[in-house]
Amino acid sequence: MGAGHDHSAAVANAAHRHVGRLWAALALLAVFTVVQTVAAFRTGSLALLSDAGHMFTDVLGIGLALAAITATRRATTDPQRTFGLYRLEVLAALANAALLSGVAVYVLVEAARRIGDPPEVLTGPMLGVAVLGLLANVVAFGLLRKGAEESINLRGAYLEVLADLVGSVGVIAAALVIAFTGWWWVDPVVAVAIGVFILPRTWRLARAALRILVQAAPEHLQVTEVHDRLSAVPGVAEVHDLHLWTLTSGMEVASAHLTTTPGAEVATVLAAARTTLREEFHIEHATLQVEPGASAGVCGTIEW
């Protein structure tokens, strides 16, 4: 049995390194969520309300990210949680996707209702608040960008801020068009555009989270290829009971049974197999059961 911990520990601590940035982004976006919500109802702008809704999910998403980071940090000393609480990161990302999908669907339904009879909106306040929202999103985007490259949890919050940034640009454009043309229908159309923009990105995030939760093999790894490479390790006669899955962002895990050829040294086979997984597939945590050829069949039959 062998496990490499350096890379896994680095990934596990990735989100922790960005806690300060998360808190700064949370405070900034929480303030502007309130500002945009009040302004949306005062101006009657559905596009601004859509942007406020997305910003609210930004706040919830970052809050969930912080909660997951705190929980994983506290769980490391519990002997009953042998993998810690790293999966909370994935659950937070899935919750973010569900929240954002709900907001987008609501806006699409409301926009469809308004397009036929669009109400007037106050373009001056709408434009001013949208510009301030854009600035807030640019700052939050910069704060979260680095962490999003390392953690699916932070990636969820990052995608929400990115969508909200694009939404703010759309609201600004809508306010300017309405101010110069009086085309009130532009407001619900922009709201629809914001919803259509974010939904595919949200679904991709949800799909990635669900793949981890159902313990499917990582998309970038081919199980048959890993099997063949382990089978080619000197001293390995046969590979069975191979499993590949993702614990959390960047933490791929493997387990397998290796039957050795007669006379093969168990320690040598184990070291070579671990090196293959680490160097060729970037799998640092592997649990390998080495079975001398004379004991073939010792595993028995697994019913599930």
**CA-angle at 162, arms to 156 and 168, nearest 5°:** 135
Sheet of 285-291: strand order equals 2-3, 285-291, 251-260, 236-248
- Tell whether 144 and 51 lie within a shared domain: yes
Selected residue with higher pLDDT from 83 and 36: 36
Confidence of residue 66 (pLDDT cuts 50, 70, 90): confident
* Domain boundary, last residue among 182, 213, 244: 213
The answer on pLDDT for 302 being more than 60 is no
Alpha-carbon separation of residue 3 from 6, 41, 216, 287, 289 (angstroms): 10, 56, 20, 7, 12
- Tell whether 131 and 249 lie within a shared domain: no
Confidence of residue 105 (pLDDT cuts 50, 70, 90): confident
- Tell whether 44 and 129 lie within a shared domain: yes
* Domain boundary, last residue among 191, 213, 235: 213
The answer on pLDDT for 1 being more than 70 is no
The answer on pLDDT for 11 being more than 60 is no
Strands 285-291 and 251-260, sheet pairing: parallel
- Tell whether 144 and 250 lie within a shared domain: no
Query: What is the rounded distance in angstroms from the CA atom of residue 143 to the CA atom of residue 287?
Result: 37
**How confident is the model over 228-282, as pLDDT tens digits?**
999 999 999 999 999 999 987 778 899 999 999 988 899 999 999 999 999 999 9
Confidence of residue 95 (pLDDT cuts 50, 70, 90): confident
- In terms of Cβ atoms closer than 10 Å to its own Cβ (0-12, 13-18, 19+), residue 131 is middle
- Tell whether 77 and 168 lie within a shared domain: yes
Per-residue model confidence (pLDDT) at position 5: 44
Per-residue model confidence (pLDDT) at position 269: 94
- Tell me the average pLDDT across 186-195: 84
- Tell whether 153 and 38 lie within a shared domain: yes
Confidence of residue 222 (pLDDT cuts 50, 70, 90): very high
CATH of the domain at 123: 1.20.1510.10
The answer on pLDDT for 4 being more than 50 is no
Q: Is there a domain that residue 218 lies in?
A: no
The proportion of the chain whose per-residue pLDDT surpasses 90, expressed as a percent, equals 24
- Tell whether 167 and 124 lie within a shared domain: yes
Confidence of residue 12 (pLDDT cuts 50, 70, 90): very low
CATH of the domain at 249: 3.30.70.1350
Per-residue model confidence (pLDDT) at position 228: 96
- Tell whether 81 and 191 lie within a shared domain: yes
The answer on pLDDT for 65 being more than 90 is no
Looking at the structure of the chain, the number of domains it has is 2
The answer on pLDDT for 156 being more than 70 is no
Per-residue model confidence (pLDDT) at position 237: 93
Q: Is there a domain that residue 302 lies in?
A: no
- Tell me the average pLDDT across 112-131: 84
Tell me the residue range of the domain where 241 lies. 223-295
Per-residue model confidence (pLDDT) at position 230: 96
Query: What is the rounded distance in angstroms from the CA atom of residue 55 to the CA atom of residue 40?
Result: 13
**How confident is the model over 17-60, as pLDDT tens digits?**
667 778 888 899 899 889 988 998 888 888 888 778 778 877 87
For 283, list phi and psi in degrees, rounded to 5: -100, 105
When mean pLDDT is compared across 79-93, 96-110, 116-130, the lowest value belongs to 79-93
- Tell whether 110 and 128 lie within a shared domain: yes
* Domain boundary, last residue among 158, 186, 213: 213
Q: What is the pTM for the complete model shown?
A: 0.69
Confidence of residue 7 (pLDDT cuts 50, 70, 90): very low
